[in-house]
Each structure stands twice: as C-alpha cells, then as structure tokens.
Structure 1
Amino acid sequence: MTDSQYNQQSASQSSQSAQSQQSQSAQSQQSAQQPQEPQQPPQPKPLPGQIYIRPGIDDRPDLDKALTPEDKKAIARLAVHIEREQPDDSAAHTETQAVRMSTAGSPAVATAIPPTPIADASSAFLDMRDPMVAADGSRPAKPAVHRLTVSFTLAALLRTLPWAMLNMVALPALVDRMYGNPFAGTAHAGASLSATEEASRMAGIAPLPWLAIVVAVGSIVGLFANIVVGVHSDHTRTKYGRRTPWILAGGLLSAVFVLPLGALANVGGLLFFWLLLQITYAMLAAPLAAAFGERLPDKFRERAMRWRGIGLMVGQMLGVALGVGGIAIDGALPFGLTALVFVLAGVVPVLVWPKEGTSESIAAEKYSSEAAVKTVLTLPAGDENAAFRRAYIARICMMTGVSLMTVFQWLIVRHYVLAAWYMDARSAVSSAPLIWPVCVAMLMIALGTLVGAAVAAGWSGRLGEWCEAKDVATRTVVIVACAVYAAAILLPLVLGLLIAPAVANVGLFVYGAVAGVAFGLYDVFNQDVVAATIPDPRDNARYLAVFNAANTWGVVLAACLGVVAVMTFGYVALLVVAIVVVLIAAALAPKAA
C-alpha cells in the first residue's frame, strides 16, 4: 500500500468516527429532552399455585382478533343450522287417539285394561328412555304426578257431566217442548189433556226429525272442529303453553253459548248455538286429550287412565241426574247448570295440575288442517287393510244401534214406554208435574248404565284371563256382547207394548244395567280386535284416528234411520232397527290376523 492510499483510508475512517460521534451526541440530547419513565422495581416470581391458568379458558385466544376475515368466512361455511323445536302432532300420538276412543265409547274401556293394550311406538317401555319422563320432556315428581292424575280425573268428570246433561236430557226435552209435548214444562195437566190419542201420537213423532237434524249436523261439525282445534293447538306459541289457553277459552265460551239455548223457541236459533257449542266444546276436549298423552309419564299413565274412566262414569251419571232434576223444576234450569259446570271444566284442571311450560320455543311455521282432515276421512285401501275396513263398518253399525237408543232415549221413554201413563193421566187432573215420570225413568236408566259399566270394567280383566286360558278369541266376546245388547233393547220394547207403566222404572233399570255391561265389554274387547287388524303397529295413531271417526258416522246414520223408522211405523220400528244394526255389527266382527 502506498502512502497516498494509506492517508486516504485514515481520513475516511476518521470522518466516519466523527459522524458516529455526532449521531450519538444527537440521540443523547434527544433522550435528555424526553421525560424519563419510572422504572418498575423487580418483582419476585409467583409462588407455585399462586396463579392458575385454566386450560382452554384463560389461554384461549380471541378468535375475532386471531382469525383473518378469510378464516371466518371458511368457518361460517362449515356451521350447521339447528332447527328450532318442532311441535308434536297430537294426531300422531297413539295415546291421544286411545283417549279419544274411550271418550266416545263406554267409560269401561278407560277404566278396564283390555286383553292386549294398543301398542304405542312412542312409549318409553319400548326403548332405553326413562319411563319417568313425559312426552313433553318434563320429569314430574311424585306430588306433581298426583296433581296430574287428580286434574285429569276432574277434567273427565266436569266435561262429561254437562255434555251428558245436554245430549241425553236438556236438548231432547227442549225439542220435545217446542214441537211435541205442550205440557212438558208445565207443573200440572191443564187443558192440554183433552188431546186425542191420535193427536198425542203425532205429537210424539213431531219432535224427532228436528232433534235428528240438530244432532246429525252438530256431530259432523264436532268431528271437523276436533281435527282443526287439534292442529291449531299443536302449534300454539304462548308463555302459558300450548293446551292451557285452549282449555280455558273452550270452557268459558261453551258456558256463553249454552246459556241462550234454554230461552229459544225455534229450531233455527237452537241449531245455530248448538253448532257454536260443538266448536267450543272441541276447544275444551281436544287439548285435554292431547295433554293426557303428553304430560303423564308412561310409568303412571295406566293408573291415571283408570281414574279418568271413573270420572267419565260418574260424570255421565251426574249429568243425567242433574239434568232430570233441573227439568223437573224448570225447563231452563239445566242450561244454567251446564254453563256453570263448563266454567269449572275449563278452570279447575288448569288450577290443579302443575303449570304447563312455555311453548314459545317451538318453531313458528305455516301449517294447515287439510292433511289432518284428509287422514281422518280417508279409509285405508289395499288387501292388507280389509280386516280393518270390516272392523270400521262394524263399529259404525254398533254405534248406530247405541245412538238410536241414547240420542232418542228421552222421546222413547216419553212417547213410547210411558205413553199409556200419559193417556191415563188425561182422565183426571194430576196434582204432580207430568214430566216427573219421564225424569225418574231417565234417572233409572242412567243408574243402571253406571252399574253395568262398573261391572264390565271390574270383570273384563278376569274375563280376558279366562279367554286366554280357554283359548277363546276376543272376537267371540265381542259377538256375544253385541247379542246381549240387542237382547237388552227388547226390554223397553216389551215395556211399551205389554207391561203396565207402573213397573216401567224397574224394567228400565234392568235395561240400563244389561246394556251397560254389554256395551262396556264390547268396547274393551273390541279394542283388542281393532288392534289386531292394523297391519303395522307403528301406524296405530293414524288408524285409530280414522277408526274414531266411525263414532260420528254412527250418530249421523242413527239420526237418519231413526227419522225414517219412526215417521213410517212409529217408535216400535226404531227399536227394531236398533236391534238389527247391532246384530249386523256382531256378524261383521273381523277375525284376528
């Protein structure tokens, strides 16, 4: 290296060191101008266990900050949309349809245990679910189960009582007073006793067509009302639950619409309010039937069903008793009593049972009643359903015969069984109200029916065991029960033709008892026959919904046949037709598959 090169290198290094010194002095001047932060004294290390970091909680990163927008979009594409809870369809519950079946038939079917109970595919006994948990997801404690049992027993009694009072006493007596019995509501005989025997016979026939129209049209409207109310009740979203608002509204509105009936004097107004009453009664009855299947766990349902059957039996008896008692005092009194009991039927069950949970969590979706109506009105086709269709027709025939004797029971007693007594009463003015003998006769029939239904419920279990031990088909019991019921109809037939009216009450009590036993056993064992005709037990609810509609068609057919028979040949023909259709039901009883 030359001297010139060495001098140049030394000069450059000295200039660089001078620049670095100037920059360091500038930084020191700048730091001196800025305020100095106080230095924290050194902290001791935490002791073991003093600070605990929860895994997955304290050390979890903030995803909103840690993830990029692209990551968030990718995660959103992988998210699963969870649907809100869908309401259960009460028409698809086998237990609900079984409850409706027991309501439409004899109370014995609700009190007794059939030989083979209808299988419920949703029952907890068929899988690993807890039988102490109800269908609505609740797990009621022992006091809650007792309250549910008491509430449904009272509900059965309180809603059956006014309905029996109206259908068996108050409505027929009202139509009879309008068109056929001018002294039905009077206290004494009076001038109307001078009517001739032919005029009296025509007066006895006159009210029957009007009563048949009201009953037939009301039954059809009631069938559709039950379907529509059931669907709307399933989708009701309130903080008070799905069933409670309907039960309260049904009881109160039924009381409102039944009050004007006692003051009406024409069949047009009677039919109008009767149809409104069918709708409001469905608002009371349909949610109660659905709530029974939803709120009671499988473990306690059988016991509650028995108590509910007792409520049905007692309710029917008390309904007729209060009805005839009110008619004997004042023709409008039964309607006031009915309104009072309807209020109790809507309020008491809601107050007694544990409060129903909110239904606001169920999905608010569009729904229609058309599918449910179509299901109920469509009879299953195909060769595999031939036995069910036969059982369906047999049920229509049996309910036709039963309805001929129950719908027109007041007119049969008044204008056939006791017609001779009324003719004899015209010979002298009686000091007793002429309506009392009819009321006593109706009470005797109701008392006999209660005794017969209780006997059928108590002995059905032993009879089922005997049939199983002797290898006797339940179809045989059904056929015999139909034959016994047909034989029971001979009693009022003979009472009106041969026996003096003085002994009519004893004969009518015997008729009620025999008919109660026969119809009770028929209902209990026919349930086993019907269950055997269903091809797939998983479809029990759908088939039973169709089968329950046969009760309505039986009432409608009874109204039509009753009018034709009585208008043509008198009340004797009505009793004969009832015997014939019951025997047809026995002949059509299907064999078990």
Structure 2
Amino acid sequence: MAVNPPDQVAQRSALDEPTRSPGGRWLTSWTLGHFAFFMVMFAAAQVVLPRQAEAISPDHKEAVVSVVTLVAALCTIVANIVVGAYSDRTLARRGRRQIWVLVGAVITIAGLLIQGHQQTVVGMVAIWALVQVGLSSISAALTAALPDEVPVTERARVSSLWGIASAAGPLIGIALVSTVATGIVSAYLVLAVFTVLFAFPFALWTRGVPLTPAERPTTSFRTMVAGTIAPLKHADFAWAWTGRFFIQLSNALAQVYLWFFLRDRVGVDPDLWTLYLALLYTGGAVAAAIPAGRISDRTGRRKMLVVVSSVLQGIAAIFYMAWPTTWAAIVGSLLLGIGFGCYAAVDQALITQVLPSAQDRGKDLGVINIANNLPYVFAGVMGGAVLTFFGRDDWGYPVLYALSLITALLAALTVQPIKSVR
C-alpha cells in the first residue's frame, strides 16, 4: 500500500512502459482525483448551472446553459492539449503530472468560490470557463499518469476505478447540491471543499517517474500545434478518437438536458429525480465497470466490450425517447449506467494502447480528451437548437434522445476498424 520504492523509480525511464503496479496509495489518490473532476463537472452542469441560469435569466435559461457549455468546452479543449503537452515536458522531481493536478485544483477552487456570486450571464460564462481550465488540468494530468505508471495488463482493471469515479463522483456531487447545499453559493462552496479533499492527495502524496532533461521533447508553439494533428494520422488512434467522440456525445445528449426533461416532460421535481436517476446510473456503472475491466485484462479483448457498452447506451436512449415517464427514466438510467461503466473500463485501456509515442503521452491523451469534451459543445448547442425548433412539449425531447441513440450506434461501428487491439 505504498508508492513505488525509490530503487524501482530509478531503474526505469519516464518513457518506458511500466511493468509493476504503482501501489495502493497511488491508485487510491488517482481515483480520488477523478472523483473531484467528475463530481464538480456533473453536479454543476446538471443541477447548479441550470439553477443559476434560471435565477439570472428565467425566460432564456436553456440558451444560457448552451452558451455556458459552449464557451467552457472550447476552453477545455485548449487546456487539455496545453496541459498535456507541458506536463510531458515537466522536470519536477515528484513526476511530470502531480504539479499540474495541484495547479488545476487551485484554479478550480478559486473559480468555484467566485462563480456562486455571479449575477450576470457574462460573469457566469467567464468564471465557469475558468473553472473548466482548472478541471481540465486535473483531468489531463491524471489521464496521462495511467500509461506512465500502470502496466498494460492492468489498465482495464485500473480504468474501472476511473469508471466508478465517473459515475459515483456525479452522484455524490448531485446528492450534496440537491439535498444539503441547495443554494447557489453554498453549492459551489461545497464543491470547492471536496475538490480540496479529493484532488490534493494525488498532487501531494504520490510520486511518478521523473523526466530527465535528455528525455525532454522540444517545446514550441509550432510543435504543439503540429502535434495536435499528428496523432490523428495514425489510423488506430483516429478510429479510437472517433469512437470516444460518439459515445461521449451519446452520453452527453442523454444527460445535459435531463434536468429540464424531468421538469418539463415527466413533470417531477427535477432536483430530487436527478438525484434518484444518478443513484441508479451509478449503481449500474459500478456493477459493470470492475467485471468488465477484469474480463478485458484477462482475455486481452477490448473492442467487443466497447460495442456492448455502446449498444446498451443506445437502448437506454430509446426509453427516454419513447416513454416520458418515471419508470422509463429509471430503466433508461440503469441501462445508461451499465453501458457507460463497461465502456469506461475498457475504452480507457484501449486508448492507452494506440498512443503513437511514449514521449507525447500527455499531449496525445489531451487530444483524446477533446473527444471527451467536444461532445458537450455539440450536445449543448444541438440540444438547445432541437428544443427551440421542435418545442419542449412536442417533438423536442424525442428528437434529442433519438440523436443519442444514433450516436451510440455510430460509436459501436467506429471501434471495429482498430487493428492493433483485439
């Protein structure tokens, strides 16, 4: 239950493939860091930001959420690439990634404390964009730490912890802001406190293999821009990126407007029912993630389980699309959680096996993280446009969830051409 011993760290380069598990403390801290990211991201996006948008502009709340989501996601895309690239080049003695988790946590905490006091749309958009920069730094550094420190034969199992964090983090956050911190200011304050508790352990209590000056890649703006496109020239990486984009778009379309769907179409308390559905989603994801990770590591097969998870997400969308009732929302959320839990464990491991270069792991995973975050731009804009054009009381939500179904099936198709992973 300790970090790598000094003699082990010294025996290999930061660019070598790891061969030994990083230990219990590292795994726990790494998982908690992801808890911080997902808790803040989804609790705010699904509950607090819609609540704040309604308080600031009740007649245009969906449009405000769309703008907030669009600007924040664009900032996230840039931050993921920049942090990934510079963490690849960091010469800190504790390792390349830890300092960036710390910086990201500090920015996130400051932004959350300021966000609760915003009374204008401009202020809400600007400060949430800052929070996203901080969250992106945490996420980019933690994601890059996986191939740095975890052997290939254990990555799906470890990625299942990421899957659990991606499901349980939002649940914890949504529970807190729906039942305890029900005000806007208090909600952001609670999220800031938990960012300290969950993100700081990895930044302060773990070590990675430090990069030496001789191993450090060259750094220039031109190199960074070129490096953003370069990995997409590798077919397997490009297909993996595309599959990640579509599965995340499907998930985002299913969840970004869930709060409004529950209120406008199902006719229930959106705060309370978002919490209920998050609980079911989490239960499904936790139940699926660890078994899927173990099966994938044991068999070496990744693609089949990604297809299964994509199809399950598509089936979940059918329940939301066809039956705007509480029972359909319950079944849909459970299936969505099972599908995403299976996907989270296996696809994350698959991605680390198609990275073109060990030297640029952080930057290349930053490019992959575009496929995690860009879908929320599309989901916010597409959802707002669909609900505006078709109406909230007519075809708007069925069309929205039909798009979630289509993108889930596209995700299942795009993983098939990957050749270097079974």
Please, what TM-score do these two structures have when normalized by structure 1? 0.58
Bigger Cα displacement from structure 2, 272-281 vs 310-319: 310-319
Q: Following TM superposition, by how much is the alpha carbon of 1:515 offset from its aligned partner in structure 2, in angstroms?
A: 0.8
Q: Following TM superposition, by how much is the alpha carbon of 1:521 offset from its aligned partner in structure 2, in angstroms?
A: 3.1
> Mapping of 1:96-175 within 5 angstroms?
135-136=13-14, 145-175=23-53
Counterpart residue number, 1:258: 112
Alignment partner of 1:341 is 2:165 = no
Counterpart residue number, 1:70: none
Q: Contact 1:228–1:369 at 8 Å: present in 2 too?
A: no
Counterpart residue number, 1:178: 56
Counterpart residue number, 2:338: 517
Q: Contact 1:225–1:282 at 8 Å: present in 2 too?
A: yes
Residue by residue over 1:117-167, the C-alpha shift from the partner in whole angstroms, topping out at 9 and shown as x without a partner, is xxxxxxxxxxxx9799565499xxx99933323322332323332233222
Change in CA separation of 1:213 and 1:558 when aligned onto 2, cut-off 3 Å: same
1:228 corresponds to which of 82, 85, 89? 82
Q: Contact 2:247–2:411 at 8 Å: present in 1 too?
A: yes
Change in CA separation of 1:257 and 1:527 when aligned onto 2, cut-off 3 Å: closer
Change in CA separation of 1:371 and 1:254 when aligned onto 2, cut-off 3 Å: same
User: In the alignment, residue 179 of structure 1 is paired with which amino acid?
Assistant: S
Q: Following TM superposition, by how much is the alpha carbon of 1:403 offset from its aligned partner in structure 2, in angstroms?
A: 1.0
- The separation in 2 between residues aligned to 1:235 and 1:578, in whole angstroms, is 38
Change in CA separation of 1:272 and 1:440 when aligned onto 2, cut-off 3 Å: same
Counterpart residue number, 2:132: 278
Q: Following TM superposition, by how much is the alpha carbon of 1:406 offset from its aligned partner in structure 2, in angstroms?
A: 1.9
More helix by share: 2
Counterpart residue number, 1:331: 184
Q: Following TM superposition, by how much is the alpha carbon of 1:217 offset from its aligned partner in structure 2, in angstroms?
A: 1.9
Change in CA separation of 1:300 and 1:467 when aligned onto 2, cut-off 3 Å: closer
Q: Following TM superposition, by how much is the alpha carbon of 1:446 offset from its aligned partner in structure 2, in angstroms?
A: 0.9
SS in 1 for 2:184: coil
Change in CA separation of 1:417 and 1:133 when aligned onto 2, cut-off 3 Å: farther
Counterpart residue number, 2:281: 449
- Identical residues among aligned pairs (%): 22
- The separation in 1 between residues aligned to 2:135 and 2:231, in whole angstroms, is 26
Residue by residue over 1:175-209, the C-alpha shift from the partner in whole angstroms, topping out at 9 and shown as x without a partner, is 133233xxxxxxxxxxxxxxxxxxxxxx5xx3222
- The separation in 1 between residues aligned to 2:346 and 2:22, in whole angstroms, is 32
Change in CA separation of 1:265 and 1:461 when aligned onto 2, cut-off 3 Å: closer
- The separation in 2 between residues aligned to 1:551 and 1:251, in whole angstroms, is 19
Q: Following TM superposition, by how much is the alpha carbon of 1:514 offset from its aligned partner in structure 2, in angstroms?
A: 0.7
SS in 2 for 1:265: coil
Q: Contact 2:156–2:297 at 8 Å: present in 1 too?
A: no
- The separation in 1 between residues aligned to 2:332 and 2:366, in whole angstroms, is 31
Change in CA separation of 1:207 and 1:134 when aligned onto 2, cut-off 3 Å: farther
- The separation in 2 between residues aligned to 1:232 and 1:592, in whole angstroms, is 29
Could you say which structure has the larger radius of gyration?
A: 1
Q: Following TM superposition, by how much is the alpha carbon of 1:256 offset from its aligned partner in structure 2, in angstroms?
A: 1.2
- The separation in 2 between residues aligned to 1:584 and 1:299, in whole angstroms, is 28
Alignment partner of 1:410 is 2:259 = yes
Alignment partner of 1:353 is 2:181 = no
SS in 2 for 1:590: coil
User: In the alignment, residue 316 of structure 2 is paired with which amino acid?
Assistant: A
Q: Contact 1:168–1:409 at 8 Å: present in 2 too?
A: yes
> Mapping of 1:245-394 within 5 angstroms?
245-294=99-148, 305-307=159-161, 309-326=163-180, 329-353=182-206, 367-377=219-229, 380-381=232-233, 385=235, 389=238, 392-394=241-243
Q: Following TM superposition, by how much is the alpha carbon of 1:336 offset from its aligned partner in structure 2, in angstroms?
A: 0.7
- The separation in 1 between residues aligned to 2:216 and 2:322, in whole angstroms, is 61
Change in CA separation of 1:295 and 1:369 when aligned onto 2, cut-off 3 Å: farther
Counterpart residue number, 1:492: 320
Residue by residue over 1:507-558, the C-alpha shift from the partner in whole angstroms, topping out at 9 and shown as x without a partner, is 43322111111233345555687789x6979899587654442223322222
Q: Give the root-mean-square deviation of aligned CA atoms.
A: 4.2
Alignment partner of 1:207 is 2:61 = yes
Count of residue correspondences: 405
Counterpart residue number, 2:384: 563
User: In the alignment, residue 42 of structure 2 is paired with which amino acid?
Assistant: A
1:439 corresponds to which of 243, 268, 271? 271
- The separation in 2 between residues aligned to 1:452 and 1:465, in whole angstroms, is 20
User: In the alignment, residue 416 of structure 2 is paired with which amino acid?
Assistant: P
- The separation in 1 between residues aligned to 2:80 and 2:31, in whole angstroms, is 21
Change in CA separation of 1:367 and 1:462 when aligned onto 2, cut-off 3 Å: closer
Change in CA separation of 1:466 and 1:148 when aligned onto 2, cut-off 3 Å: closer
Unaligned runs of 5+ in 2: 1-6
1:578 corresponds to which of 398, 404, 407? 404
- The separation in 1 between residues aligned to 2:36 and 2:11, in whole angstroms, is 27
Bigger Cα displacement from structure 2, 244-253 vs 301-310: 301-310
Counterpart residue number, 1:98: none
Residue by residue over 1:242-265, the C-alpha shift from the partner in whole angstroms, topping out at 9 and shown as x without a partner, is 544433332222111111222222
User: In the alignment, residue 343 of structure 1 is paired with which amino acid?
Assistant: V
Bigger Cα displacement from structure 2, 240-249 vs 402-411: 240-249
- The separation in 1 between residues aligned to 2:351 and 2:162, in whole angstroms, is 22
Q: Contact 2:77–2:374 at 8 Å: present in 1 too?
A: no
Counterpart residue number, 2:292: 460
- The separation in 2 between residues aligned to 1:562 and 1:272, in whole angstroms, is 21
- The separation in 2 between residues aligned to 1:132 and 1:301, in whole angstroms, is 22
Residue by residue over 1:307-363, the C-alpha shift from the partner in whole angstroms, topping out at 9 and shown as x without a partner, is 555444432321221122245x32322101011122234433344336x79889779
Counterpart residue number, 2:370: 549
Counterpart residue number, 1:426: none
Q: Contact 2:159–2:344 at 8 Å: present in 1 too?
A: no
